[in-house]
Amino acid sequence: MKKVLLSVTLVLVTFVSANAQFYLGGTVGFESNSELNPKSSFWFAPEAGYYINKKFDVGLEFGFAKGKQQNDVKSSLLSIATYARYSFYQLGKFEALIKGSVGFTYVDGYIQEEYPFGKTSTFRFRVYPILAYNLTEKIVLFTQLNCLSLNFALINPEDSDYSHHFRFGASNSLINTGSLPIGFYYKF
C-alpha cells in the first residue's frame, strides 16, 4: 500500500511540475521630491508564482519600502500578499489580466498618505487590471493599473482603534509605486 501511495504521489508531482510554469519577478523603484512628505522612498516588491494553465496563475508577493521624511525621520514598510491572475484578452504580444490579492502590510513611520503616521498594520483585499507585454517567451513586462483598483482595507494604528476604508479607482497598491508601476517576471 505504501508503494502504491508513493508511486501515485510521484506521478502527480511529476505531472504538476511538467505542466506548471514557474516565474520570478517584481518591481523596484526610487522616488525623490523635496516638496513632498516623504521626501524620498525606495521600494522593492519581488513576486513568485506559477501558471496553472495558459490563462490562470497564482503567486506570492512581498513588499519592502524605506522612506525619509522632510524632518529626516526614517520610515519602513513590510508586506506580504497572495494573489491570483486571470488573462482575459490577448492581442499578439500584448495581454490584459485581472489580479485579485489578499495581503498584510506593516508600516513604521509614514510611507504613503493612506497609512497614518506611526506603527500601523493593515489587512487588504484588492482587485485591479494589469497590462503585460511578452518581450520574449521567457520575459514579460507588466504594469499594474492602480488608478483603476477596487480596494478594501482594515487598518490598525498602534495607538488607536481599527478603522477601515473602501476605495474604487484610488492609487492604493501593496506598495504605492504610482499609478503605473512597471515590473517584469521571468518564466522558467
pTM, two decimal places: 0.74
- Does a structural domain hold residue 1? no
- Does a structural domain hold residue 157? yes
> Would you state the pLDDT for residue 38?
53
Number of domains in the chain: 1
Query: How many whole angstroms separate alpha carbon 141 and alpha carbon 187?
Result: 11
- Does a structural domain hold residue 17? no
- Does a structural domain hold residue 42? yes
- Does a structural domain hold residue 125? yes
> Would you state the pLDDT for residue 174?
45
Cα–Cα distances in angstroms (integers) from residue 74 to residues 62, 104, 143, 156, in the given order: 20, 21, 28, 20
Total residues found in the chain within this entry: 188
- Does a structural domain hold residue 13? no
- 130 and 142 in contact (C-beta within 8 Å)? yes
> Would you state the pLDDT for residue 173?
43
- Does a structural domain hold residue 12? no
User: Which domain CATH number covers 88?
Assistant: 2.40.160.20
- Does a structural domain hold residue 40? yes
pLDDT in tens, the chain (188 residues): 566 556 655 554 555 555 558 999 998 877 666 665 556 777 889 999 999 998 999 999 999 888 776 666 778 889 999 999 999 999 999 999 999 999 998 888 765 554 555 677 888 888 889 999 999 989 999 988 766 777 777 777 666 665 655 555 544 444 444 556 788 989 98
Structural domain harbouring 162: 22-187
> Would you state the pLDDT for residue 162?
57
- 126 and 172 in contact (C-beta within 8 Å)? yes
